[in-house]
């Protein structure tokens, strides 16, 4: 990533900047970027709590109910759409299901193996190409 010289050595520029996180309201199917807060954020449309979706969340269109149902399961499992390392240099987005078929396959695998669903939602299928 972008590095600049500071104090005689190269440092990452992301280490000095606090970026906003994506927050989503699944019932309203909207997302916002906000600075992190301990008190939490509320949806301006329904006054419900906003779920933290992470730095790399790309919200589906509001009319795409199927995609929002997948987002609801991923966020409900406690996962976020992240790709940053603590300093922000390594930007390799982690896998999250995008369509219902991927979600269904992981639910079936979780039921068969007894593995928690949140663990399988974060693993890409080795046979699937991106």
For residue 108, being part of any structural domain is answered with yes
How many structural domains compose the chain? 1
For residue 5, being part of any structural domain is answered with no
For residue 59, being part of any structural domain is answered with yes
For residue 21, being part of any structural domain is answered with yes
Q: Could you read off the pLDDT tens digit of each residue along the chain, which spans 130 residues?
A: 455 555 556 666 556 677 889 999 999 999 999 998 888 899 999 999 999 998 889 999 999 999 999 999 999 999 998 876 555 566 666 788 999 999 999 999 999 999 999 999 988 876 665 5
Name 86's Cβ contacts closer than 8 Å, sequence gap at least 6.
Answer: none
Helices (H), 15-99: 65-76
Q: Which domain holds residue 27?
A: 17-121
For residue 60, being part of any structural domain is answered with yes
For residue 100, being part of any structural domain is answered with yes
């Amino acid at each position: 990533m972008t590095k600049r010289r500071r104090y005689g050595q190269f440092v990452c520029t992301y280490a000095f900047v606090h970026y906003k996180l994506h927050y989503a309201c699944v019932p309203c199917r909207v997302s916002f970027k906000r600075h992190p807060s301990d008190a939490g954020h509320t949806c301006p449309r329904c006054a419900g709590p906003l779920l933290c979706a992470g730095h790399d969340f790309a919200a589906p269109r509001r009319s795409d109910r199927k995609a929002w149902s997948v987002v609801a399961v991923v966020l409900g499992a406690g996962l976020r759409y992240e790709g940053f390392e603590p300093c922000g240099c390594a930007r390799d987005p982690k896998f999250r299901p995008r369509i219902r078929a991927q979600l269904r396959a992981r639910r079936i695998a979780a039921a068969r193996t007894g593995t928690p669903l949140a663990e399988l939602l974060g693993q890409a299928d080795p046979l699937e190409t991106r």
